[in-house]
Amino acid sequence: MKLLNYTTKYFAAILLFALLLFTVIFYFQMLDEIYDSLDDGLENQKILVINRAKKDPSVFNKTSFKDGYYTIHPTTYSEIKNVKDSYRDTLMYMLNEKDYEPVRLLESAFRQDGKYYKLKVITSMVEEDDLIEDLLYSILWLYIGLVAGVLFLNNWVLKRLWRPFYSLLNNLKNFNIEKEQSIELENTNIEEFKLLNLQVEKLLQKSIDSFKAQKQFIENASHELQTPLAISINKLELLAEKEELSSNNMTLLASVLENLERMTRLNHALLLLSKIDNKQFVEEENLNIVQLVTQIANDFSDFANHKNIEISISSDDTIQKYMNKDLAIILFTNLIKNAIIHTSLNSIITIKIHNQKVSIENESETSKLDDQQLFSRFYKVNPHKSSTGLGLAISKAIADKYELELIYIYDRYHIFIVNFQ
């Protein structure tokens, strides 16, 4: 959810609560004012009736509300000595409405010519249910209008104010440190956005500098390590060609050569992992994965035949993926080579391409592998002199780089699956 909509959601909820609270308070205050006004009117009507009774004796004949808005009934002093003016709500049948409607009633008493009379005066009042309904509709339309106003404010005024922020987000989203590009920051008069742009610019510059330094270190390390290793191997190979070496010395020399070559492979693998982690493989193209896997399997056919292993490929799908071709080759080379090395002699390695997945199955004398450690660096199932323990770790790093799922399953066969979905 966007920031503007997020704030609008909370503002709408707070506004609704505030309006409901205001409506309740306003309703009771309005009723209080209405009752005060009605009671003042009834008080005035009472005074008018009493004054008229002093001049017109026919007023005392009004004993029913059918004759008007008041009634007068004779009474005794004992009945009214404690009577005070009282107001209450009641219902009365209205001829015009043909129904009972709420009225306000004043009950009082007065004395005239030595006689005592009980007086009742009525007046029509507002129906509370109609009042509540009208008030709720008014508040509802007010709430809708306020929310619409807030949405307009957010999408027109505030959106323009937040434009530098969204521009910065878009630039950061498209930023690629591998290309060592800078981002264009939008000019703004808002102090907070100026500060944000300044800090982001400093942070990106530090990241670019660190990336350059790390990239330079990897390149230097590759050169500084590979050169002496290559020289040492070449000199040892020249030494091995001399006939005067004894068999024991030749054995020792072969052991040294083997360890140096292993160290060379290890150096290559570690540098490759570093380059993958630092995203130094920028060039990408749309690869035909089926064709690529088939070509790699064919390249390994001689190696597999040497161990009496057959590689079977079946495909009923087409997989296209934008990725670096070298990394794609390394990914499937490691998986297929791993299957050949660890599979049983005189067996079959099955490669299936189906439902946007590439699965590589092989038999092996080993049981299920530890899938928690399988893709860790330097993890080895069967220690092998030529193995660096980095092949599967490199494959996992490549899969993660392109958001591919690399899965290991054991079901009598060891199965590695690359999911392109």
Residue 400: per-residue pLDDT? 86
Asked whether residue 195 falls in the same domain as residue 271, the answer is yes
Q: Structurally, how many domains does the chain consist of?
A: 3
| Predicted pLDDT of residue 121 | 92
Residue 156 inside a domain? The answer is no
Instruction: Report yes or no on 358 lying in a domain.
Output: yes
Asked whether residue 54 is domain-assigned, the answer is yes
- Phi/psi at 366 (5° precision): -80, 155
Q: How many residues does the chain have?
A: 421
Together in a domain, 30 and 64 = yes
| Per-residue model confidence (pLDDT) at position 59 | 84
Regarding whether 363 and 341 lie in a shared domain, the answer is yes
Pairing of strands 414-419, 405-410: antiparallel
Global confidence as pTM? 0.46
**Which of these three, 280, 305, 322, is where a domain ends?**
280
- Regarding whether 193 and 130 lie in a shared domain, the answer is no
**What is the domain extent for residue 342?**
285-419
Note whether 259 and 314 are same-domain residues: no
Token pair of 335, please? 């998986």
Using alpha carbons, select from 418, 353, 358, 410 the residue that is nearest to residue 392.
Answer: 418
The reply to whether 133 and 20 lie within a common domain is yes
Q: Which ranges of 178-324 does DSSP label H, i.e. alpha helix?
A: 191-240, 247-277, 289-299, 301-306
- How far is the C-alpha of 269 from the C-alpha of 276, rounded, in Å? 11
Widest Cα–Cα separation across the chain: 158
Q: How far apart are CA 87 and CA 104, in angstroms?
A: 7
Q: What is the pLDDT along the chain (421 residues), one digit of tens a residue?
A: 566 666 777 778 888 888 888 888 888 888 888 888 888 898 999 999 888 888 888 888 888 887 788 889 888 888 888 888 898 888 887 777 677 888 889 999 988 888 888 999 998 877 666 777 777 888 888 888 888 887 777 777 777 777 888 888 888 877 766 666 677 777 777 888 888 888 888 888 888 777 777 767 766 666 666 667 677 777 777 777 766 667 777 777 777 777 776 677 666 666 666 666 666 666 788 989 899 999 998 888 888 888 888 888 888 888 898 888 888 888 898 889 888 888 877 888 899 998 889 999 988 777 777 666 777 766 665 555 455 667 788 888 888 888 888 988 887 888 899 998 8
Residues 251-280 as b/e (b if ≥16 CB within 10 A, e otherwise) read eebeeebeebeeebebbebbbbbbbbebeb
Phi, psi of 247 (to 5 degrees): -65, -35
Residue 158 falls within a domain, yes or no? no
Would you state the pLDDT for residue 282?
Answer: 64
- Dist CA 290 CA 369 (whole Å): 27
Instruction: State residue 388's pLDDT score.
Output: 60
- Please indicate, yes or no, whether residues 263 and 289 belong to a single structural domain of this protein: no
Choosing from 234, 260, 280, the residue where a domain stops is 280
Same domain flag for 294 and 409: yes
Residue 256 and residue 289 in one domain: no
- Whether 359 and 303 share a structural domain: yes
DSSP state string for 354-418: ETTEEEEEE--SS----TTTTTSTT--SS--TT--S-HHHHHHHHHHHTT-EEEEEESSSEEEEE
Domain final residue pick, 249, 280, 311: 280
Residue 179 is classified by DSSP as: G
* 344 exposure class (CB count in 10 Å sphere: 0-12, 13-18, 19+): middle
